[in-house]
Structure 1
Amino acid sequence: MKQSLDQREHDQRSPLSAFSDNAVRRTDNTHQDPDYRQAFCVDADRILNSLAYTRYIDKTQVFSLIKNDHLSHRVLHVQLVSRIARTIGRYLGLNEDLIEAVSMGHDIGHPPFGHDGERILSQLTQKHGAGFFHHNVQSIQFLENIERHGRGWNLTLQTLDGILCHNGEVHFRQIKPLRNKSFADFDTTLEWMKKTEKPDQMPMTSEGCVVRMADTIAYIGRDFEDAIRLGLITREDLPSICASTLGNSNGTIVYTLVTDLIANSMGTPHVGFSEKIFEALLAFKTFNYDRIYKNPLIKSHLNAVETIYHHLFEKLLKDLDDDNQKSSIYSRFLKGVSREYREKHTHAEIVRDFLSGMTDSFFLNQVPPSMRPCHMEMPLHV
């Protein structure tokens, strides 16, 4: 059955697809553990069953500490990326299992309070000699070195590369995969990213490129709708180039972007948009940054969050230095983790891993109530 499915891929999919029988793992134990599932399907199942995936449920996407049950959280964003990317992949003849695996794992390394938390944590890791903090690098850290008591999930190179090389913050009109990478290349890139402030590299597969584009498609219109719901902007505020070209509702925006991406990528070695659509997308991104992501109305809690990050990092670091076995970093993180993990990581890196894996609520509960920011009450606009 598995051989039949592998052969069907070669018969029916694009030659640019990543074929399941070409998947590569660090440890090839298929002869010991025969499995009827194809390689990238196994990856998707392993990520779905990881502890880090479970914690998506309480991770900030954009808006945090706002009492509104209809706002996007990280788990919904990941599901939207997967749905959008699989639709694109289906029309381009690509491997949907690989697309799903990369989509589900791409944000696992996000720390509490989203990109703001990422920025704060990176300052702390640099200060303590642990390099720059990037959530995509941390996703690999969880999946390879922390999950399963330090044994990791033994995911394929293609999946790990797609996760590492996704970058929804950097935009190109067209991208092409950087094919024929090895695990040695992957490890070199991983170490380079830890030492680089704004690293970026193209994925090795067309599937990874599709997920990278779908990441932007998934959040650009959804964040717009959330901001309208909170009364930060109105639909009429959207620049005319965006509204007339992409639409002014999330459904229309997603449909327009996906349709254009498929039409301009089909039968070509790249994945990309038409020039007109891409210009409108860049204008939309600028609008979102200026009017939503940098809006002071939703940043009032940041000083408190930053104070907590600094407090916890220094406290946990001291607990490790003092071998304080009563500390939560021992009882809630290091307990059960392999000796190999402890030997390979500095105290600052261990604190980084513990903090970045916390959900928003667990993070806040590590400090007294007097240190925690209050939830904001904002009007519901339907």
Structure 2
Amino acid sequence: MQSVRPSPRILAPYATRPEASRGRRIAEPASATRTPFQRDRDRIVHSTAFRRLTHKTQVFITTDGDHFRTRLTHSLEVAQIASSIARVLSLDEDLAEALALAHDFGHTPFGHEGEAVLDRLMAPYGGFDHNVQAYRIVTRLERRYARFDGMNLTYEMLEGLLKHNGPPGPGAVLFPTHPEVDDLDLVGQAGLEAQIAAISDDIAYDAHDIDDGLRSGLLTVEALREVPLVDELLREVDREAPGLEAARRTHELVRRLLTRMIEDVIAETVRRIARAGVASAADVARQEGPLVAFSSAMAEAEAATKRVLHADLYRHPSVLDARAKAARVVEGLFGAFAADPALLPPSWRDPADGEARRLRRTCDYLAGMTDRFALGEHRRLIGGTPDLG
């Protein structure tokens, strides 16, 4: 086939440029049709880890209904927001999208509850962190390629995954069982594309948890009106479309909230870039803090929104009850596998392992489970599995 190079795009001088990529740990021939970051995105979309997000909890356990968001639908929504922001700012959309699609790879079954259980159980062996777990997946645990474990993603992708919520800083002990980070820059600020993925996660969480919360009946419009911005948008909807049915009214609120937050981030980021005088990706890394951010007014509104969501949705008695039951499932499975490693699939055990390595394998296996697979395994191996519905 005749080589067809990707058409060059006009990127801002401070964008993470694909032609300047540091490459991959294991060298590969360049693609004739895709940039390095496009290849990263495609590997993520075709990965087992990405497919598993279909049946991993966002807020509501997946048995609660077919229309609530999962980790997969959330990741797709984050990617759409990230791509939109990157496009307007003339940054690399493919890298922003890839980081958004992979940002939840490390999450356990049953959301943050599963993570908390594994972090507690693995505390003597380095604990558990979903960002570190995402790194383990893309560098080690995904096993599909002939020449390497993981996905052999670009250095920019690896650093973005680890730094999108802020650089861990020098000397941070992140990888007690995975030390292969000496070739990564974990000190400077993440690139703008990674910063976009991080704030897009916040935007998607807020807007779409409002949507799921209202449709579930656990969150009320009256509670949301405590947030001045949300109250303003609701009044705007009611003024423009009085008497709108509940489902359409909710959608109008959510889409307007998304628009306000996205446009605020774009405007504030433009201001910060201009004020800092950044002229390259290296300048971005040297900043004391992120350049992609909400304005002070929107940051206050976003914090107020989170307070309502925590109080009225995430801490709702029915949600807490399901989380407590989910915690018992994860803890029971970990205990069973730890007591009898023969219960693990053959590819997940090695007689030569010491205790720390054996339990880390157990943790990796359990963390990769979907909600329904974890429930099925608990039912098969232990019994007395709680009903999370």
TM-score category by the smaller chain? 0.7 to 0.9
Provide the secondary structure at the position in 1 that maps to 2:118. Answer: helix
Give unmatched runs, 5+ long, in structure 1. Answer: 168-176, 377-382
Paired position in structure 1 for 2:175: 191
Structure 2 residue runs without a partner (length 5+): 180-185, 235-249, 274-290
Between 15-24 and 59-68, report the one with greater CA deviation.
Answer: 59-68
Q: Does 1:210 align with 2:196?
A: yes
Percent sequence identity is: 29
1:372 maps onto 2:369 in alignment: no
Aligned to 1:24: 22
CA change 1:361–1:285 in 2 (3 A) is same
**SS of the residue 1:272 aligns to:** coil
* Residue 80 (structure 1) aligns with: 77
1: CA distance, partners of 2:59 / 2:23: 34
Q: Is the 8 A contact 2:113 2:326 kept in 1?
A: no
Name the counterpart of 1:259: 263
Contact preservation (8 Å) 1:111, 1:359: yes
1:164 to 156, 162, 165: 162
Aligned to 1:242: 229
Give yes or no for contact 1:224–1:288 (8 Å, CA) kept in 2.
yes
Equivalent residue, structure 1, for 2:292: 271
- The alignment status of 1:61 with 2:58, answered yes or no, reads yes
Aligned partners of 2:159 and 2:190 also within 8 Å = yes
The root-mean-square deviation of aligned C-alpha atoms, in Å, is 3.0
Preserved CA contact (<8 Å) 2:38 2:95: yes
After superposition, the C-alpha distances for 1:249-270 in whole angstroms (9 at most, x for unaligned) are 2111111000111111126431
Aligned to 2:126: 131
Deviation string, structure 1 residues 305-350 (Cα, Å, up to 9, x no partner)? 2222222112212323xxx3xx2x224x528xxx8x9699701100
Once the two structures are superposed, residues 56-84 of structure 1 have per-residue CA deviations (whole angstroms, 9 ceiling, x without a partner) of 11000011154322111111000000000
Q: Does 1:356 align with 2:367?
A: yes
Question: Equivalent residues in 2 for 1:13-162 (5 A)?
Answer: 13-31=11-29, 34-64=31-61, 66-126=63-123, 129-148=124-143, 151-162=149-160
Which amino acid letter does the alignment assign opposite residue 322 of structure 2?
Answer: H
**Contact 1:206–1:271, Cα closer than 8 Å, also in 2:** yes
CA distance in 2, matches of 1:74, 1:187: 31
Given candidates 330, 345, 349, the residue that maps to 1:330 is: 345
* Structure 1 segment 289-328 matched on structure 2, within 5 A: 289-320=310-341, 324=342, 327=343
CA distance in 2, matches of 1:18, 1:254: 25
Contact 1:65 1:374 in 2 (8 A): no
- How far apart, CA to CA, are the structure 2 residues paired with 1:217 and 1:94? 19
Pair 297,156 (structure 1): closer, same or farther in 2 beyond 3 Å: same
Mapped to 2, the partners of 1:82 and 1:352 lie a distance apart of: 28
Shift of 1:243: 1.6
**Partner Cα distance (1:267, 1:223) in 2:** 29
Assess, with a 3 A threshold, how the Cα gap between structure 1 residues 310 and 67 changes in structure 2: closer, same or farther: closer
Write the letter of the residue equivalent to 1:304.
K
Q: Is the 8 A contact 1:166 1:212 kept in 2?
A: yes
Paired with 2:36 and 2:188, the residues of 1 have a C-alpha distance of: 22
Select 2:216's aligned residue among 224, 230, 236. 230
Bigger shift: residues 185-194 or 94-103: 185-194
What displacement does 1:240 show?
4.0
C-alpha distance in structure 1 between counterparts of 2:65 and 2:222, whole Å:
23
Distance in 2 of aligned mates of 1:192 and 1:272:
32
CA distances 1:8-53 after superposition (whole Å, capped 9, x unpaired): 34xx21111000012224434234x654310000000111111111
TM-score, normalised with respect to structure 1: 0.81
What whole-Å deviation, never above 9, does each CA across 1:185-232 have from its counterpart, x for those lacking one?
89967438999xxxx987521000001000000110111111111111
